[in-house]
Structure 1
Amino acid sequence: MSVRNIFVVGLDEHNRKRLEHLRGAENYRFYGVIEPSEVYDTEIFPIEEMLSRAETLLKGFSEPIEAIVGYMDFPVSTMLPLLCERLGTRSTSLTSLLKCEHKYWSRLVQHEVIADYIPRFTAFDPFDALALQHIGEAGLYFPFFVKPIKSSGSRLGFRIESPEDFAYAVARLCEGIGTISEPFNYVLEHAKLPDDVRSVDGGHCMAEEIIGGWQCTLEGYVFQGNVVPYGIVDSIRYPQVLSFFYYRYPSILPANIQEKMQALTRQIMSHIGYDNAAFNVEYFWDEVQNRIWLLEINTRIAQSHCDLFEKIDGVSHQQVTVDLALGQLPDMPFRQGIFKVAAKFFYRVFFVDATVSQVPNAEEIETLQHAFPGTMITIQVDIGMRLSSLPEQDSYSYALAYVWMGADDEVALEENYARLAEQLHFAFEDIVA
């Protein structure tokens, strides 16, 4: 078989090595397009300029381009349909992607087919002095949750218990929403939107009824119209806060609940018309009411889950992304890894802000990784860094390190992490508690 050229938006060395272990990778040659620092470690996204540069580079490539892929959230996921259309490579349509990523449009479409599984919702303009009044007129009352129409991770998401909470959240939203609304609006200009969606651009926000319970993420793909869920990852939060503690795979949700989530996923993704691309859907299961809620749909694999699938199934689920972009049925193995359970842990601090004065050094990290075989630790901060400068953080804490671990059972997994976490030594100055 001839070598197939695959371009990856935001490719870094860590993911290059992972991609080179995919099934069939001996026949693939991976190239980066757009530096990872431009789409990941920043909150400035000049999408129009990045697309122009990428198009020039790709059209100047002297060999055939078989696929253009990405594994990151905004702006990469949103840019891909535009870039693929310009280069003639495979991707789901921009319309189907926006029916997932534009949170208000997504809720409208979900309401058409699975209304009983989504919360009450409304859109609002954070710059409107009467926004809280309009939210009440839409039938939403305290407590409720607010977030931008388009965001990344848990950034600028707030639980609202009172008018004071809303005022604080709106101030934060008005201050920070422009970094995503402006580039997202550029993408919206390229799509045919219904009138009721076009009037709700990237500068708007969502207010939603509070939902909760056991949170999980269903990973799936669509190939030639066939929706295929292939794994569910549990999302465990720190007690009493919204911040994630760890992601665990495989899920230990009851089988009937997993099956219902799979059925809902097939229904909504088929209705949207999403095709020939990977996705994931976040759900809650309210165990008390035995009720399933759809939280949101993401138009990519979850990069945080790559190592989990590799540990459990034998290969990163980037396999799905690459195979689909090449026009072939994903060759994803099942339970062929060396561990029975795996997790990504978030080592966090719950400060308002602080300056980092000490981090574990490379030798300490290497020692810990050797002590816990299969473990990977990535430190997210440097000495002298102000925590508030970290991108992609939730509104309540800062993730100082990510720790991927595998084990033979859940008890061993949690015990091993607790022992490891005790040996991760950070220190801070100028703490704002």
Structure 2
Amino acid sequence: MTKHVFVIGLDEFNLRELQTVHNAAEYEFHGLVSYETMVNPPSYPMAEIMAEARRTLTEAPSVDAIIGHWDFPTTSMLPILRREWGLPSPTLESVLYCESKYWSRIAHQEAVPECTPPFQGLDPYSDDPVRDLELDYPFWLKPTTAFSSYLGFRIDNEDRYREAMATIRENIHVFAEPFDYMLQHCENRSALPAHGNGATVLAEGLIGGHLCTLEGYVHEGDVVTYAVIDSLRGSNNVSFLSYQYPSQLPDGIQNRMRAYAERILKHIGLNQTPFNMEFFWDPQTDYIWLLEINPRISKSHCPIFQMATGASHHEVAIDIALVRRPDFPHPEGRFPMAAKFMPRVYGNAVVNRVPSAAEIEAIKRHHPELVVHVYVEEGMQLSELRAQDSYSYEIADLFLGGESEQELHEKFRETMQLLDFQFSEVLPTNYG
């Protein structure tokens, strides 16, 4: 029988990705709350969003699964809605341990202290944030709940600290208010740390090295990691350049990361969900640092898996939601390697030219696997882009396949030359 699968924030691109999964004809996919409502809106009116989701589900003839691939608040909506519809789900409390970077660090310190940098939770509304600070400079400062490095700053001195804290204080409500709304739906609030809320700010010591992401799932308490993806950053060592699969890290390092992943996930009680987890490996010290846990698949990796394994790992999210053990990845891809590239501009300017659909189609005659998402329009200021990191503007996403890492990067640079984005000023980029 057809399974009715509801997808929070479903858009046309991810619908096409969902339709690549094995046995896709067995599913009927339905959007649950619009993409525009869930992805980069100016605010999240959670009571209205949840009411809309409940109306859609109530009117549906059948609800067999509810899934999502976007960051918070999608990830926190899932356990609430699944619980209300009697569907298998991780607990909201275990998901909030992942959503809150501060609470997550507390759990890391308890379960994998050797992977945890020094950290501190701070109140952005304090009368004297400098007096409250216990960490030495330099460190990272970021909201406890956000994504894509939004409002994240490297702090090297007191002036920078005061400036960054003022910026965070002015904007943190965008995620703090929906986080505190979700917190009210906990059935066991005592399972979470007593200190901290949506408006907490995390300060943590600098960590670095080779960054990678583990993709996996927890099924009936069994933690499985099925892929490791390398994350390459640009010259500022902050802004991402590409995600590449499969990882080039030594097998021994990957296995140590898998063991740490199992330890922390069992500690916070996360179950019946996909996850992705970011780690650094410092080859000079051989330290492995845990950065963060996300209780979902990475949407950025879906086309990568489609190119390199033959199907999007939306398949994993569907199987777990239907209480089936996934059989993923498949050895059916067109390329031995695949990557997502994030072309960036370091500085603000007016966009003078973007490639047309016809130009993109012409490039695809040379690279048929190419997928391009353009995020800018002619005449706009780059500063109008939402949810950017604090140091660059991501103007597009490109997905490409190749025989090697070198070929992938050559394809990326060649494709960006052909796309020919133009701006009102000559600015540094990560593709020039």
TM-score normalised per structure 1? 0.95
Distance apart, 1:41 and its partner CA: 3.6
Look up the SS of the partner of 1:187 in the other structure: helix
List gaps (5 residues or longer) in structure 1: none
Higher mean alpha-carbon deviation, 183-192 vs 291-300, is at: 183-192
Does residue 214 (structure 1) correspond to residue 213 (structure 2)? The answer is: no
Distance apart, 1:432 and its partner CA: 9.8
Identify the match of residue 133 of structure 2 among 126, 132, 135. 135
Identify the match of residue 147 of structure 1 among 115, 118, 142. 142
Identify the match of residue 75 of structure 1 among 73, 76, 83. 73
1:248-294 per-position Cα deviation (integer Å, ceiling 9, x unaligned): 11000011000000011111111111111101110000111010000
Residue in 2 that maps onto 1:254: 250
Higher mean alpha-carbon deviation, 28-37 vs 377-386, is at: 377-386
Higher mean alpha-carbon deviation, 197-206 vs 27-36, is at: 197-206
Residue in 1 that maps onto 2:54: 55
**In structure 1, distance between residues paired with 2:37 and 2:269:** 30
For the 8 Å contact 1:221–1:228, the answer to whether it is kept is yes
Distance apart, 1:415 and its partner CA: 1.1
**In structure 2, distance between residues paired with 1:298 and 1:44:** 21
1:179-204 per-position Cα deviation (integer Å, ceiling 9, x unaligned): 11111110012223349834311111
Distance apart, 1:332 and its partner CA: 1.5
Residue in 2 that maps onto 1:19: 18
Higher mean alpha-carbon deviation, 366-375 vs 188-197, is at: 188-197
Residue in 2 that maps onto 1:126: 124
Task: Give the AA of the match of 1:40.
Answer: V
Look up the SS of the partner of 1:354 in the other structure: coil
Residue in 2 that maps onto 1:301: 297
Task: Give the AA of the match of 1:96.
Answer: S
The structure-2 alpha-carbon separation of the partners of 1:299 and 1:318, relative to structure 1 and needing over 3 Å to count, comes to same
**In structure 2, distance between residues paired with 1:167 and 1:369:** 48
Distance apart, 1:375 and its partner CA: 1.1
Task: Give the AA of the match of 1:64.
Answer: S
Distance apart, 1:306 and its partner CA: 0.4
For the 8 Å contact 2:102–2:200, the answer to whether it is kept is no
Look up the SS of the partner of 1:7 in the other structure: strand
Residue in 2 that maps onto 1:116: 114
Residue in 1 that maps onto 2:185: 190
**In structure 1, distance between residues paired with 2:40 and 2:204:** 29
Does residue 85 (structure 1) correspond to residue 80 (structure 2)? The answer is: no
For the 8 Å contact 2:6–2:67, the answer to whether it is kept is yes
Does residue 376 (structure 1) correspond to residue 394 (structure 2)? The answer is: no
1:79-116 per-position Cα deviation (integer Å, ceiling 9, x unaligned): 11111112222221101111111111111112112111
Residue in 2 that maps onto 1:408: 403
Task: Give the AA of the match of 2:423.
Answer: F
Task: Give the AA of the match of 1:66.
Answer: D
Distance apart, 1:367 and its partner CA: 1.3
Task: Give the AA of the match of 1:162.
Answer: N
**In structure 1, distance between residues paired with 2:365 and 2:372:** 11
Distance apart, 1:235 and its partner CA: 0.5
Look up the SS of the partner of 1:415 in the other structure: helix
TM-score normalised per structure 2? 0.96
**In structure 2, distance between residues paired with 1:126 and 1:424:** 42
Distance apart, 1:315 and its partner CA: 0.9
Distance apart, 1:64 and its partner CA: 2.0
Residue in 2 that maps onto 1:321: 317
For the 8 Å contact 2:346–2:427, the answer to whether it is kept is no
For the 8 Å contact 2:119–2:204, the answer to whether it is kept is yes
Distance apart, 1:121 and its partner CA: 0.6
For the 8 Å contact 2:79–2:89, the answer to whether it is kept is yes
**In structure 2, distance between residues paired with 1:177 and 1:430:** 31
For the 8 Å contact 1:355–1:431, the answer to whether it is kept is no
Task: Give the AA of the match of 1:246.
Answer: S
1:151-174 per-position Cα deviation (integer Å, ceiling 9, x unaligned): 112111111001111122112101
Does residue 355 (structure 1) correspond to residue 353 (structure 2)? The answer is: no
Residue in 2 that maps onto 1:64: 62
**In structure 1, distance between residues paired with 2:382 and 2:194:** 36
For the 8 Å contact 2:93–2:192, the answer to whether it is kept is no
Identify the match of residue 280 of structure 1 among 276, 294, 311. 276
Does residue 341 (structure 1) correspond to residue 337 (structure 2)? The answer is: yes
Look up the SS of the partner of 1:230 in the other structure: strand
Distance apart, 1:25 and its partner CA: 1.3
Distance apart, 1:51 and its partner CA: 0.6
Residue in 1 that maps onto 2:328: 332
Task: Give the AA of the match of 1:217.
Answer: T
For the 8 Å contact 1:281–1:298, the answer to whether it is kept is yes
Distance apart, 1:43 and its partner CA: 3.3
Once the two structures are superposed, the pairs formed by residues 164-175 of structure 1 within 5 Å of their partners are 164-175=159-170
Task: Give the AA of the match of 2:54.
Answer: E
Identify the match of residue 221 of structure 2 among 221, 225, 232. 225
Distance apart, 1:130 and its partner CA: 2.2
Any runs of at least 4 consecutive aligned residues in structure 1 with deviations exceeding 4 A, and if so which?
A: 430-433
Residue in 2 that maps onto 1:386: 381
Distance apart, 1:426 and its partner CA: 2.1
Look up the SS of the partner of 1:215 in the other structure: strand
Residue in 2 that maps onto 1:179: 174
List gaps (5 residues or longer) in structure 2: none
